[in-house]
């Protein structure tokens, strides 16, 4: 695919990993399509992974051009000789000639991009990379060179500032909802039926699904007729199914695996329970809110930005350490070394919510039918007003154009 030299729109090159089908990848796909439609952007892609998920590969022909970052003629480029890697990055820059290179996540991986293109054309977009373990020296180097960055949440902004000491301008452009499902009416508490609790996440250590199972056991021990459906799959599924057996709640839990129709899932549950240890933004909480589901979640990272405490759900303070997490069946592999606690505006080691506190929050939300309905209605309104995807795209493109024009971003109050 060659360039259309007659086009006059901004030339935008995305540097993004496309090996998975997670939130960042899906956000990229939707953002790129909307940016082309709403702003006439000429877009190319540098694929920063060595493989491409089948879903993304089908969409790549829609871009002006795309190339692998670390592959040449089908062969992976090693770290050495370093000169070959540098030559590859310079060639990509000459090939695409971006006005702005939008660097999606991978904070410690962009030194060569900046070297090849220059700071003036590189705009980094934080989506959660700042939480993870990695090459601290490389991250510090990248941040020290960038005059401004984008973040998908206030939590991401503070993570960059507090953990990494970033002193440049941070423009927060909260994520928009990729799939806005419309519902005509807010939810009502079920009458003469069991309470249906939903969990939606990958079954991995950081999502803490085991705490949701313990919370369900606590609810049933208090005489509350509650059942749970879990949408999502992952390496911990067998362990979680065994935990449900040991807690004597297996007949009240459905493991649904990957769910394609999440709108239907949210329409069938009463409350979303999301006890994650880390969540830079909290897309699943926003998706649930858009469907009128009040949310009980951990008061960590970006979740309180999505869930308005006591208005659209309850944010439960984490109080127990990882020793307690392991006692409850949690796995502590691959957890982030630090998370952001909004209530204290501080970076701290990950902690968990006690299952009893999660159960208390579910009871509080569902104790009064009028309050539950008000929360459902408020959740729908909040997501519609604050997290519209088109507005999100417009905000990001305004920042991209400003960066192209000035080489930085103006601070916002």
- pLDDT of amino acid 86: 85
- Residue 135's domain is classified under what CATH number? 3.40.50.2000
Q: Are residues 150 and 270 in the same domain?
A: no
Helix, strand or coil, per DSSP, at residue 35: helix
Quote the DSSP letter at residue 109: G
- pLDDT of amino acid 3: 43
Q: Are residues 239 and 110 in the same domain?
A: no
Q: Are residues 153 and 243 in the same domain?
A: no
Q: Is residue 247 part of a domain?
A: yes
- pLDDT of amino acid 313: 98
Q: Are residues 73 and 212 in the same domain?
A: no
Q: What DSSP element (H or E) covers 394?
A: helix 389-406
Q: Are residues 142 and 168 in the same domain?
A: yes
Q: Are residues 105 and 218 in the same domain?
A: no
Q: Are residues 212 and 302 in the same domain?
A: yes
Residue 65 has a CB neighbour count (10 Å cut-off) of: 16
Q: Cis before residue 81, ω within 30 degrees of 0?
A: yes
Q: Which two tokens stand for residue 205?
A: 């250590």
Q: Are residues 210 and 82 in the same domain?
A: no
Q: Is residue 182 part of a domain?
A: no
Phi-psi region for residue 282, left (φ > 0), alpha (ψ -120 to 50) or beta?
A: left
Residues 6 or more apart in contact with residue 374 via CB below 8 angstroms: none
Q: Is residue 190 part of a domain?
A: no
Q: What is the mean pLDDT of each run of 10 residues along the chain (413 residues)?
A: 52 94 86 93 94 86 90 75 85 95 94 94 96 89 96 97 96 86 78 92 97 98 97 97 98 95 94 98 94 97 98 98 98 95 97 98 96 96 93 97 96 83
Q: Is residue 236 part of a domain?
A: yes
Q: Are residues 172 and 213 in the same domain?
A: no
Residue 386: Cβ-neighbour burial (10 angstroms; 0-12, 13-18, 19+) = middle
Give the helix, strand, coil percentages of the chain, each rounded to 5: 45, 20, 40
Q: Is residue 188 part of a domain?
A: no
- Containing structural domain, residue 117: 11-176+389-406
Q: Is residue 155 part of a domain?
A: yes
Quote the DSSP letter at residue 310: T
Rounding to the nearest 10 degrees, give the CA dihedral for residues 138, 151, 178, 41. Answer: -80
Q: Are residues 147 and 203 in the same domain?
A: no
Residues 6 or more apart in contact with residue 126 via CB below 8 angstroms: 105, 107, 149, 150, 151, 152, 156, 159, 160, 280
Q: Is residue 3 part of a domain?
A: no
CA 43 vs CA 19, 88, 384, 402: distances in Å: 19, 19, 28, 17
Q: Beta strands of 189-249 (E only): which ranges?
A: 195-200, 226-231
Sign of torsion, CA 375 377 378 380?
A: positive
Q: Are residues 164 and 239 in the same domain?
A: no
Contact indicator for 23, 177 with CB cutoff of 8 Å: no
How many domains is the chain built from?
A: 2
Q: Is residue 4 part of a domain?
A: no
Q: Using one digit for the tens of pLDDT, what is the confidence trace for 325-383?
A: 999 999 999 999 999 999 999 999 999 999 999 999 999 999 999 999 999 999 999 99
Q: What's the pTM value of the predicted model, to 2 decimals?
A: 0.92
Q: What is the DSSP string of 150-183?
A: EESSHHHHHIIIIIT---SEEEE-PPPPSS----
Q: Are residues 380 and 276 in the same domain?
A: yes
* Helix-helix angle 23-39:389-406, to 10 degrees: 70
How far is CA 95 from its chain centroid? 31
């Amino acid at each position: 695919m060659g360039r259309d030299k007659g086009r006059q729109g901004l030339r935008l090159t995305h540097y993004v990993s496309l090996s998975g089908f997670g939130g960042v990848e899906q956000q990229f796909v939707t953002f790129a399509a909307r940016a082309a439609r709403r702003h006439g952007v000429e877009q190319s892609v540098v694929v920063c992974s060595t493989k491409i998920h089948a879903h993304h590969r089908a969409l790549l022909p829609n871009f002006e051009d795309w190339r692998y970052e670390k592959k040449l003629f089908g062969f992976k480029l090693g770290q050495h000789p370093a000169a070959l890697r540098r030559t590859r990055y310079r060639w990509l820059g000459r090939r695409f000639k971006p006005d702005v290179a939008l660097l999606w996540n991978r904070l410690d991986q962009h030194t060569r991009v900046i070297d090849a293109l220059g700071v003036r054309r590189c705009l980094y977009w934080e989506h959660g990379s700042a939480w993870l373990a990695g090459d601290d020296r490389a991250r510090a180097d990248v941040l020290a060179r960038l005059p401004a960055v984008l973040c998908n949440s206030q939590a991401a902004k503070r993570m960059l500032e507090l953990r990494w000491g970033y002193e440049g301008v941070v423009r927060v452009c909260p994520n928009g909802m990729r799939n806005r499902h419309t519902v005509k009416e807010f939810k009502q508490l079920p009458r003469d039926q069991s309470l249906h609790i939903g969990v939606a996440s990958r079954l991995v250590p950081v999502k803490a699904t085991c705490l949701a199972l313990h919370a369900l056991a606590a609810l049933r021990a208090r005489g509350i007729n509650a059942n749970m459906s879990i949408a999502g799959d992952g390496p911990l599924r067998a362990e979680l199914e065994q935990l449900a057996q040991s807690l004597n709640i297996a007949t009240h839990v459905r493991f649904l695996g990957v769910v394609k129709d999440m709108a239907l899932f949210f329409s069938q549950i009463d409350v979303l329970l999301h006890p994650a240890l880390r969540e830079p933004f909290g897309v699943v909480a926003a998706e649930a809110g858009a469907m009128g589901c009040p949310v009980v979640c951990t008061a960590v990272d970006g979740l309180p930005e999505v869930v308005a405490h006591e208005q659209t759900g309850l944010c439960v303070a984490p109080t127990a350490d990882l020793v307690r997490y392991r006692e409850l069946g949690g796995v502590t592999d691959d957890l982030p070394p630090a998370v952001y606690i909004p209530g204290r505006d501080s970076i701290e080691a990950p902690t968990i919510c006690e299952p009893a506190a999660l159960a208390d929050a579910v009871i509080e939300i569902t104790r009064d039918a009028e309050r539950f309905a008000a929360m459902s209605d408020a959740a729908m309104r909040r997501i519609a007003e604050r997290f519209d995807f088109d507005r999100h795209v417009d905000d990001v493109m305004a920042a991209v154009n400003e960066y192209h024009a000035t080489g930085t971003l103006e601070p916002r109050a």
